[in-house]
Chains A and B, each alone.
Chain A
Amino acid sequence: QVQLQESGPGLVKPSETLSLTCDVSGYSLSRGYYWGWIRQPPGKGLEWITSIYHSGTTYYNPSLKSRVTISVDTSRNQFSLRLSSVTAADTAIYYCASHWSYDYFDYWGQGTLVTVSS
């Protein structure tokens, strides 16, 4: 069974770059699967941010595309999210997730709260 765990700073200053990593266990990223990031502002709904196929093909939410980068490090069996020029509106719980098929997320990390504040 795939297990995912997010890590990264819990506090980021406005205009800086948010960086998160998702460690994957139970499955080798190089073998397949899509890997993605979803966020949830406190008390609000889910928003898909980005996904990457194990081969490196990337997919982005159009509303965030200009600020988002997703990458995979198969040697460390992890994938990462970078979101630049953050504002308070980017404050959210960030989840990493796997999806065997592009259209649905089958395994999720526990989520990590990132607060944007000076």
Chain B
Amino acid sequence: QSALTQPASLSGSPGQSITISCTGTSRDVGGYNYVSWYQQHPGKAPKLMIYDVTNRPSGVSNRFSASKSGNTASLTISGLQAEDGADYYCCSYTSDYTLVFGGGTKLTVL
């Protein structure tokens, strides 16, 4: 079970949009519409931001959106704000009934 591939780090200026990619295989990301995204601030527990590829839980800003194409899922944050600086993780269901996370992306808001 290999971790999904995410860029280690990204940065953007306030007001800009950024996209974090999450690449897997046809046995996980590409095979199912079961990708979720989590935001984690230092010293805090992860927070669910997106589930089932595109759905936002109640209370999550609509500046967060997500999509999937083939074996790659993407999380887009528009109108970047200082509070968006955090680590982001994708997670996918897999064909052997397990769950696998991405390696994480550290987002810096300049």
Interface residues of A (CB under 8 A from B): 38, 45-48, 51, 59-63, 95, 101-106, 108-111
Of A45, A63, A95, A111, the most chain B CB neighbours within 10 A belong to A45
In contact, A103 and B34 (Cβ under 8 angstroms): yes
Interface residues of B (CB under 8 A from A): 1, 3, 32, 34, 36, 38, 40, 45-48, 51-52, 57, 89, 91-93, 96-104
In contact, B36 and A103 (Cβ under 8 angstroms): yes
In contact, B93 and A46 (Cβ under 8 angstroms): no
Minimum CB–CB distance from A76 to chain B (whole Å) comes to 22
In contact, A63 and B1 (Cβ under 8 angstroms): yes
In contact, B3 and A62 (Cβ under 8 angstroms): no
Contacts of B100 in A (CB 8 A): 48
Q: Which residue of A lies closest to B97 (CB)?
A: A59
Q: Which residue of A lies closest to B3 (CB)?
A: A45
In contact, A102 and B57 (Cβ under 8 angstroms): no
In contact, A45 and B89 (Cβ under 8 angstroms): yes
Minimum CB–CB distance from B63 to chain A (whole Å) comes to 20
